[in-house]
Amino acid sequence: MSATDTKKKRDAEATRKRILEAAKKEFAKNGLGGARVDEIADRAKANKRMIYHYFGSKEDLFRAVLEAAYLHIRNAEKRLELDNLPADEALEKLVKFTWDYYLKHPEFITLVNSENLHRARHLKDAETIADATMGLVAMVEKILLRGQEQGIFRDGIDSVQLNITIAAIGYYYLTNRFTGSILFKRDMMNPEALEERLSFNVETIMRLVRA
């Protein structure tokens, strides 16, 4: 059987992956409480027993899904290589990337919401993810310093607050797109609306940092 043949009758790693992927979708759609283990098993074309075999419990499965989701975005951010860009371009790129990432991975938002509903109890000792996040903060800190040296950014900006704000203006718009579209009586998700929001966000952040 060749290495690329994915139709092996037995493949622990592949089954594990299918379960993780199915779980991500189900948790994202229904939250931790609303997700059904049976549904995850079906989606993964696996047996429920396999879930308990590989992950131990529904909560531990959620933890695994959540950690994978955080590591995925942190890695994508790292690959931006913002250090090689002029400060203003780097910051704008990060704002745009963050927006695009949330747009392409709505499940990330829902997972984070679910985790916060549960007071982050699955993340309690996720040292790796916290470290990766501090790496992102350091990245932004470097951008800020470069911009200040150039004289285009003001100083005294807290890089954690800036990070939070960059996330916030995209995240809030997208997580509340359903209630928002009703309450503001406008379709928040058509291409023009999305584009308009992205430029508004870029403007917000650039005005925030400019000297």
Partner DNA sequence: GACTTAATGCACTAACTAGTTACTTCTGAA
Partner DNA sequence: TTCAGAAGTAACTAGTTAGTGCATTAAGTC
- Site residues for DNA per CB under 7 A: 8-12, 15, 35-38, 46-50, 52-53, 57-59
Signed CA dihedral, 132, 134, 136, 139: sign only: negative
150 vs 161, beta carbon nearer a copy of itself: 161
Is 203 one of the binding residues for a copy of itself (CB under 8 A)?
yes
Is 148 one of the binding residues for a copy of itself (CB under 8 A)?
no
15 vs 163, beta carbon nearer a copy of itself: 163
Residue 15 contact among DNA, a copy of itself, none, beta carbon within 5 to 8 Å by kind: DNA
Residue 11 contact among DNA, a copy of itself, none, beta carbon within 5 to 8 Å by kind: DNA
What SS3 state is found at 121?
A: coil
Helix-helix angle 12-34:106-117, to 10 degrees: 60
Exposure b/e, 23-42, CB count within 10 A at least 16 = b: bbbbbbeebbeebebebbbe
Q: Report the 10 Å Cβ neighbour count for 149.
A: 11
For residues 57-116, which are near a copy of itself according to CB under 8 A? 70, 110, 112-116
